[in-house]
Structure 1
Amino acid sequence: MNTAPPQTLLLVDGSSYIYRAFFAGGEAMSVTLPDGSVQKTGAIRIMINMLQSLRKEVPAAYAACIFDAKGPTFRDELYPQYKATRSPMPDDLRSQIEPIHEVVRLMGWKVLAVPGVEADDVIGTLAATASAQGMEVIVSSGDKDLAQLVNEHITIIDTMNGRRRDVAGVTAEFGVPPHLMRDYQTLVGDTVDNVPGVPKVGPKTAAKWLNEYGSLDAIVANADNIKGAVGENLKKSLDWLPTGRQLVTIKTDCDLNGWLPGLPAMDEIATGSMDTGALAVFYEKFGFKGLARSLGASSEAPAQAAAAEAGPATQPGRERDLFDEPGAESAPPVAKTSSLRYDTILTWEAFDTWLAKLQAAELVAIDTETTSLDEMRARIVGISLCITPGEAAYIPLAHVYPDAPAQLPLDEVLAKLKPWLEDASRAKLGQHIKYDRHVFANHGIEVQGYAHDTMLQSYVLEVHQAHGLSSLAQRHLGRQGISFEDLCGKGANQICFDQVDVAKAAEYACEDADMTLEVHHALWPQLARDDKLRFVYELEIKSSEALYRIERNGVLIDAPTLAAQSHELGQRIVQLEAEAYEIAGQPFNLSSPKQLGEIFFDKLGMPVVKKTATGARSTDEEVLEKLAEDYPLPAKLLEHRGLAKLKGTYTDKLAQLALPSDGRVHTHYAQAVAVTGRLSSNDPNLQNIPIRTPEGRRVREAFVAPAGSLIASADYSQIELRIMAHLSGDAALLLAFRDGMDVHRATAAEIFSIDTAQVSSEQRRYAKVINFGLIYGMSAYGLAKALSIDNTAAKNYIARYFERYPGVKNYMEHTRELAKRQGYVETVFGRRLYLPEIGSSNGQRRAGAERAAINAPMQGTAADLIKLSMVKVQEVIDAQKLRTKMIMQVHDELVFEVPESELDWVRHEVPKLMAGVAQLKVPLLAEVGVGLNWDKAH
């Protein structure tokens, strides 16, 4: 148990935690209990991680985890509509509540769920009592309502996003100090709890009033002095405000003596010890084998366990997680015990023994240790293999530090492994297999038979989680491995892996392969029993193969063209600087917010659009765009910034990124990043080349084909609108696509109540903005801004759209409700898209999640379709032994390098293949363009 200063009390908002645990992946795991019933376990497992992490990060002598109890509270009696709009708790979460309470107690926490008292009020009472005694109180919760408790002794921390709400933090975030937060919440209301505020009074108005008048009572007293519609709304709300304030006020004087007879001495919530025996039984019952093993390891070998505890790594396959759930790095490490057999292969006899094991094994986990994270340049330092949990081997091949032991010759080892590596019938497993494919290819080996990738298994099962091996092992095995930094150091002093001591490298590498196999055993059964998820996973595996080919092919870059563009951009940038100086009447630093503020607002008298969190006058891009509507200087600065970014990111750097050996850029496609299933591209990012400006479009002129070949671009036409038609089943939309109509013209005809032949180009443009805007959840305000019309007109357009397309409106409403009920939505093919913020108490986050719920199935289905197309086209190219190469995948587009003799095939067959990968309620349409470069082909 952690020793802790006696003055610290740690309070956990358990009700907030369990929802976060569930929507962060708690619905993805289950176990069959002895009675044959299936029990969901994901929320339990993540809850354990979160509390382990918190206990480690916030040592405290006193601690309690507080949950809402069943049944009504005084607020329900005061206002029967209280929380009436909340969706019921998902059944899969409800079944995990009692086990969560049990395991939290076993972990040494005091568990409180007081009938008739909300968790917030229990927290408020305990926090206020401890604070009055001079104790330091840390409350762990994402609930903004608790901000009203903050004082010099009480701090709220949100481990999910690192937010810390102390007195300064609350003031900066909400614009008012903590002691005014209940007045602030009364004015704003709470849509999550269905507590009305003053209509049309948002956070900015509430903060403004409170800073001006000093309190809610003073605002009420001055209600007659507040003019306009918002003042009228305030006057109409005066009778309600006292009730509203009662509802939002967290009680700090609840009677807890029946539950904590030791108050105010706090003895009843002193931090306890883990009940390891009972925990072991619990972990075994619920299938947490890694956690169960860790309990044994911690008691049998504490020294080894402490030595094994390490931070996150950055080695390929062990990369630091992009989104770490609290506790993702907190599971206790599994100590290395005698049951682990890790071999270091330094002789041919040992190698031959392991080669025989490989040839007899049904599945082998394989991993490479290399000289670089750049897969196109990386060279092998060693190879690790695992055939059964706990049994692994490392073949060191290129450790070159002084006194390194004699190692088997790299080329000879690879020559002996090559037949097995290239045998498609020998099933192999890896973590981020695309990287290892490239590494072996750098040595002339085309690995076949990759059946599984644990990174992709996690991506399909728990897309919103981190997918690095460290996080996977901690989350699913309770293991924390040796970190790359422990071996190689950090920053400028970091050494290459070939300098690492062979014995240490062997333990690290064997552990990688071993954990990969164990994670596979934990994840694969979950995929195998769900046909839809299995289909998506198999698509990801096939996509990984196709993407490897695309990355390997690369795209030829015309360096002289880029150099000429960089020169032209540089001249224009210098010219823009001179023009900006002339307008300003003086030279200044175009990148300095302080100098821009002085020139904009003090010298030129431009209006202040908004301020930063620190109160400074903002000159960010949004402000520049707004001011550019009326002033020339901001427009110059916007153009300057755009061109400077284009030059620095693309025209200056693309040629530098090309491999000297082939003059081609080999981008890296990250498969397991975007929650919608879309790919992301980096080094270089091919998806962010700005194509809305002439200068941005010209960058694509530098993507060329060699002599005798051309560039071809194939992309889906209006793919997301077609998917919307399929998902919504709207009769009018289905008819428009089935009849091959111009869907934007058809929409314009519907909205403006005219014949399609009468639709003007301007009306079609309006319809196009509406079509695409609404599927992205655009509001009337957003539409008004996009079309430069007033809000009333925008509302009328939206209303008319939904009148003409009622199926779309029904789909949106149904999808929002479904997302709230189950915490995720699905693509047409069954890819799950989780929405952790769908039940957020933060209105903006919740609204964002609702928009994502509507759009994600379309984006995700489009991503699935382009992956299906990519896989199918590559299969046909291989089967027909064509010389056409797929060289890029950008959004809904596939780009090819095509010999002139195969142009007809690409023009005619590729659109057919892309249109035929799935049968939707509307036909899919793909179109091909051809040119000397990417710009001409697009």
Structure 2
Amino acid sequence: MSESKTLLLVDGSSYLYRAFHAMPDLRAVPGDPTSAATGAIRGMINMMQALRKEVPTQLAACVFDAKGPTFRDEMYPAYKANRSPMPDDLRAQIEPIHAMVRMLGWTVLDVPGVEADDVIATLAVTAAQQGVTVVVSSGDKDLSQLVNEHITIMDTMNGKKRDVAGVTAEFGVPPSLMIDYQTLVGDTVDNVPGVHKVGPKTAAKWLMEYGSLDNLLQNASAIKGVAGENLRQAVDWLPTGRQLVTMKTDCDLSAYVPNLPALDALHLAEPDKPALKTFYETYGFKGLARAISEGTDTLTSAPAGAAPKPKFEPNLGLFDEPEPTVSAVSDKAYDCVLTWEAFDVWLAKLQAAELVAFDTETTSLDAMRAEIVGLSFSVKPGEACYIPLTHSYGDAPTQLPIDEVLAKLKPWFENPAIHKVGQHIKYDRHVMANHGIEVKGYAHDTMLQSYVLEVHKPHGLASLAERHVGRKGLSYEDLCGKGAHQIPFSQVDVARATEYSCEDSDMTLDVHQVLWPRLQADDKLRFIYELEIDSSEALYRIERNGVLIDAATLAAQSHALGQRIVQLETEAYEIAGQPFNLASPKQLGEIFFDKLGLPVIKKTATGARSTDEEVLEKLAEDYPLPAKILEHRSLSKLKGTYTDKLALMALPRTGRVHTHYAQAVAVTGRLSSNDPNLQNIPIRTAEGRKVREAFVAPAGCVIASADYSQIELRIMAHISGDEALVKAFHEGLDVHRATAAEVFGVAVGDVSTEQRRYAKVINFGLIYGMSAFGLAKALGIDNSAAKNYIIRYFERFAGVKRYMDDTREQAKAQGYVETVFGRRLYLPEINSPNGPRRAGAERAAINAPMQGTAADLIKLSMVAVQKAIDQQQRQTKVIMQVHDELVFEVPESEVEWVRTEVPRLMADVAQLKVPLLAEVGVGPNWDKAH
């Protein structure tokens, strides 16, 4: 057999468990929890199709565990005794998966009496002995014992490749010693004991020192300490352990693979498309069935003998939904504009078009610093142009002068009557503004269209184009490369840049024509989309404004934090009686538990004594050293993340920090702040709050902060309609005090400070789906008392209980919940057979409408306030949006306007069953404005 051939072996059992646990709870009849589960089937389809393209081969098999016991169960009855039984929903999908994999052209093997690993081992060794290259696709580390110059393991879920070097680097021993290594370490998953308390590091150290397990055992008497004693006690067991972890490489497969050692029976066949189409229709995969009918399916193999990709990529499309709703553009007319004649032709097209898609190619992903390399426009699907402007490589063609091109295009860009569409328009607006052009007339953003319609899916253009119009284009990496060898776009060949950039604008227009009608057909979603477009405009202004940073204040804070950090280290050394690395879990464990005798709170998955945050907080209640460590960590993070870096992140030309607000990230509609993250400044500590002192106003101005009061509780009152809550807000009562009065059965005036604190924890805890256990932990009381508080709460606030129950049922029936304004929040796991996942989705179903409505309200406020500022020609600037808070830079002459008008504007953006209340604070810096 030719040495150039490759045998691809798939660990089907590993695949199907991963598919089952990774995919959402899909059903044959979407939305019907009583119909057959199909998530594992769909995941397997994606993974098998992607793998076939990833690894070009003519020989392949997918191997599953067969039903019934194996020889290992006879040898050791406790083998795999700790494993949970296969979930019923997964068991029901096994036979369809086997059938589907066969339809895809694979040989399917499940051999009684042995495990899938043994079958894989037998086939791999048989092929390798003939010089065939073997690729095993599995996440099972146990297969590493097979690796040699001919056999490689690839873990498709995380991109890990286990060749000889990879195994040695990962485990500390070469593949030839993996059986000995596994024998010493044991296998908790399969319930195979190793040497007690001997972990990976000790096992690797011993084997590299003694060369093999046999040599180690011959010298067992020389191994000192507890580990040596444990090794000697395990001597009688280890031969059995070695047999259990060693894969059989001589399984009798004659009844399953004819003519072994010849491998012709494992030939990878072409997919049976008619049978697959029927299968897909049966299990509700309409997009896959339609793709076969239209000839746009992705079933074709990579050509045999083609060079494999240099790196195995993770995930293999596990969550992809390749279900295009329209066919791809077949005829493309892409122009590269290098002359004024061609420019004039395209300028006329831009001026005549009803809608133009526009994209920039730039020098940077940092919108405030990016400069233009080229521009592309598309006036209808398949027709686009690219205007290269600053490409600079050896034989680059002569390009039109950038200043003149932008001057001629400026009137078109700044005409609000000319409608434009883009993908992530806020970025392109910044880029154009960097060149003195304020783009007007942006009517649509395909990223935001996707975010509103399908918040739970990816919103990148490549994903949108493949998902909705069946198109796949060049990637940035195709042109520029990756990592250290990546070149700037200005060095990309102009012809290739033309294809890439025209494709982006063309696909943006194409995707818009699919998504926009869907938004037009739903009034609620259209409202949310228009809110997102308006928010993009307001956020562009906020990002452009930036916030002034007082570098001297930050430097003083950094110095003070540095001194305190050093002091904490000294104090920690004194308590421990020695210097040590405060960031080392191993050294912390030795100091805490061996030297100081602190109690072990919990252990890690590998059995090590944990020193994580939760453990430190628990120990800090009674011991000084953990408290010092916690404070040291907190201050070090504050110093490294904020006080040392904020001033350095200021843009030189403005002297301000310009954060980036990501709109299309959080499923609830909340914004995400990045570079720097202004939403995560730890304001619960005095040191963290001080950081906000460095956010200042220029001379003649002050900082103002406006935020909603108890916004999520007000939203709860509105959507639940609970009479007691609604009454409390209408009467202007302290809602936590009113809650305490109801729960504890006392008059409002008699509520104690402690009772109010309890009520506040209960109010917010229930919004976030807190259980009795969580409440008990938060209040420091026992579970039964916490349970009684919750019972009493729901007795007094029956409307809240009714809302929670109804919302869970509604979410299970339709797969999503909505905000007050109609933003749709999908819950893929709401009918999951996995208990913890289902419970998490149920908590989200209750909380998401409140978080999402709060996000909608602050966006409505941001838009309304910015509109008022513009209409009244105020000099006040919105400079930050942080959670439910708007932050302003206000001329002293406009302070009174902000104090009176901003709360009114924020309160009037929506009419709820309870009044909205916004409060404004003013000060010389952000901290003092609270």
Class of the TM-score when normalised by the shorter of the 2 chains: 0.7 to 0.9
- Check conservation: 1:3, 1:61, Cα contact below 8 A: no
Partner residue in 2 for 1:398: 390
Q: Is the 8 A contact 1:310 1:486 kept in 2?
A: no
Residue in structure 1 matching 2:50, options 34, 50, 53: 53
SS of structure 1 residue aligned to 2:7: coil
Change (3 A) 1:424 1:848: same
How many angstroms apart in 1 are the aligned matches of 2:12 and 2:6?
A: 11
Deviation at 1:387, TM superposition (A): 1.5
Structure 2 CA distance for aligned equivalents of residues 451 and 366 of structure 1: 12
- In structure 2, relative to structure 1, the CA distance for the partners of 1:816 and 1:860 (3 Å cut) is same
Q: Distance in 2 between matches of 1:402 and 1:856?
A: 55
Specify every segment of 5 or more residues in structure 2 that has no aligned partner in the other structure, as ranges.
Answer: 32-37, 66-84, 125-133, 147-151, 168-177, 194-254
1:214-270 CA deviation, whole Å, 9 max, x = no partner?
A: xxxxxxxxxxxxxxxxxxxxxxxxxxxxxxxxxxxxxxxxxxxxxxxx968799997
For residues 90-169 of structure 1, the aligned pairs below 5 Å read 108=105, 128=115, 131=118, 134=122
**Inter-partner Cα distance in structure 1 for 2:720 and 2:807:** 10
What is the distance in 2 between the residues matched to 1:699 and 1:930? 17
The alpha-carbon distance between structure 1 residues 162 and 499, as it changes in their structure 2 partners (threshold 3 A), is: closer
Matched, 1:177 2:193: no
1:62 aligns with 2:77: no
Does residue 1:576 correspond to 2:576, yes or no?
no
Residue matched to 1:315: none
Q: Are residues 1:830 and 2:822 paired?
A: yes
Matches of 1:465 and 1:419 in 2, distance apart? 37
| Aligned residues of 2:817 and 2:826 also touching (Cα < 8 A) | yes
Q: Tell whether the 8 Å contact from 2:25 to 2:832 is kept in structure 1 after alignment.
A: no
The equivalent residue for 1:524 is 516
Tell me which residue corresponds to 2:861.
Answer: 869
Contact 1:11/1:123 (8 A) holds in 2 = no
CA offsets 1:337-379 (integer angstroms, 9 cap, x no match): 9822211110011111111111111211111000111100100
Aligned identity (percent) is: 68
Q: Is contact 2:682-2:688 (8 Å) kept?
A: yes
Q: What CA deviation, in whole Å up to 9, does each residue of 1:491-526 have, x standing for no partner?
A: 233221112111121111111112222222232232
| The 10-residue stretch of structure 1 (51-60 or 512-521) with the greater mean CA deviation from structure 2 | 51-60
Mapping of residues 862-901 of structure 1, within 5 Å: 862-901=854-893
CA shift, 1:277, in A, is 8.8
1:696 aligns with 2:698: no
Q: Which position in structure 1 is the counterpart of 2:7?
A: 5
1:929 matches 2:928: no
| Offset at residue 110 of structure 1 (A) | 8.9
Cα distance in 1 for partners of 2:905, 2:292 equals: 48
The Cα of 1:324 is off from its aligned counterpart by 9.1
- Pair 1:565–1:792, CA change in 2 (3 A): same
Matches within 5 A, 1:366-405: 366-405=358-397
Greater alpha carbon shift after TM alignment, 738-747 vs 507-516: 507-516
Aligned CA-pair RMSD: 4.9
Structure 1 position 628 matched with structure 2 position 616: no
Task: For 1:502, give the aligned amino acid.
Answer: V
What is the one-letter code of the residue matched to 1:368? T
- How far 1:619 moved relative to its partner? 1.4
**Does the CA-based 8 Å contact 1:828-1:861 persist in structure 2?**
yes
Contact 2:384–2:505 under 8 Å retained in 1: yes
Matched, 1:492 2:484: yes
Residue 794 of structure 1 aligns to a residue whose secondary structure is helix
Separation in 2 of the partners of 1:842 and 1:139? 29
How far does residue 285 in structure 1 lie from its aligned partner after superposition? 9.0
| CA spacing shift, 1:887–1:513, aligned 2, 3 Å | same
Q: In the alignment, which residue of structure 2 is the partner of 1:256?
A: none
Distance 1:123 1:302, change over 3 A: closer
Contact 1:717 1:927 in 2 (8 A): yes
Residues 84 and 748 of structure 1, relative CA distance in 2, 3 Å threshold: farther
Call closer, same or farther: CA 1:297–1:724 in 2, change over 3 Å. closer
**Residue 353 to residue 661, structure 1, CA distance change in 2 (3 Å):** same
Are residues 1:352 and 2:340 paired? no
CA distance in 1, matches of 2:354, 2:753: 63
| Alpha-carbon spacing, 1:553–1:899, altered in 2? closer, same or farther (3 Å) | same
TM-score, length-scaled by structure 2: 0.76
Q: What whole-Å deviation, never above 9, does each CA across 1:270-290 have from its counterpart, x for those lacking one? A: 754135799999999959998
**Amino acid corresponding to residue 750 of structure 2 in structure 1:** Q
Q: Identify unmatched segments of 5+ residues in structure 1.
A: 30-40, 67-81, 112-121, 182-261, 313-319
Using the alignment, how far apart are the partners of 1:812 and 1:27 within structure 2?
Answer: 26
Residue number in structure 1 paired with 2:583: 591
CA contact (8 A) 1:9 1:138 kept: no
Alpha carbons of structure 1 residues 128 and 578: separation in structure 2 relative to 1, 3 Å: closer
How far is the alpha carbon of 1:397 from its aligned partner? 0.3
Label 1:614 to 1:753 Cα distance change in 2 as closer, same or farther (>3 A). same
In the TM superposition, what whole-angstrom CA distance separates every residue of 1:137-161 from its partner, at most 9, and x where no partner exists? 999999xxxx9x99999x9999778
Aligned to 1:414: 406
Amino acid at match of 2:49: Q
In the alignment, is the contact (CA less than 8 A) between 2:110 and 2:116 conserved in 1? no
Q: Distance in 2 between matches of 1:126 and 1:43?
A: 25
Measure, in 2, the Cα distance between the counterparts of 1:921 and 1:277.
57
What displacement does 1:767 show? 0.5
Q: Which moved more, 1:130-139 or 1:335-344?
A: 130-139
Which residue does 1:236 correspond to in 2? none
Query: Residue 222 of structure 2 corresponds to which residue in structure 1?
Result: none
Measure the CA separation in 2 of the matches of 1:783 and 1:526.
43
For 1:330 and 1:631, the matched residues in 2 are separated by 56
- The question of whether the paired residues in 2 share the 8 Å contact of 1:715 and 1:928 is answered with yes
Question: Could you say which residue in structure 1 is the equivalent of 2:758?
Answer: 766
* In 2, Cα distance between equivalents of 1:845 and 1:173: 32
Looking at structure 2, the residues matched to 476 and 661 of structure 1 have their Cα atoms a distance apart, in angstroms, of: 41
How far apart, CA to CA, are the structure 1 residues paired with 2:493 and 2:451?
33
How far the C-alpha of 1:308 sits from its partner, in A, is 15
Aligned to 1:211: none
Matches within 5 A, 1:6-45: 8=10, 10=12
TM-score (norm 1): 0.75
Distance 1:760 1:384 in 2: 66
Q: Is the partner of 1:887 in helix, strand or coil?
A: strand
Judge which range, 437-446 or 832-841, deviates more: 832-841
- The residue type equivalent to 1:782 in the other structure is G
Task: Determine the C-alpha separation between the residues in 1 that align with 2:28 and 2:921.
Answer: 46
1:179-233 CA distances to partner (integer Å, 9 max, x unpaired)?
Answer: 689xxxxxxxxxxxxxxxxxxxxxxxxxxxxxxxxxxxxxxxxxxxxxxxxxxxx
**Is 1:649 aligned with 2:638?**
no
Are 1:913 and 2:925 matched, yes or no?
no
Task: Specify whether residues 582 and 595 from structure 1 end up closer, same or farther in structure 2 by C-alpha distance, changes over 3 A only.
Answer: same
Counterpart residue type for residue 698 of structure 2: P
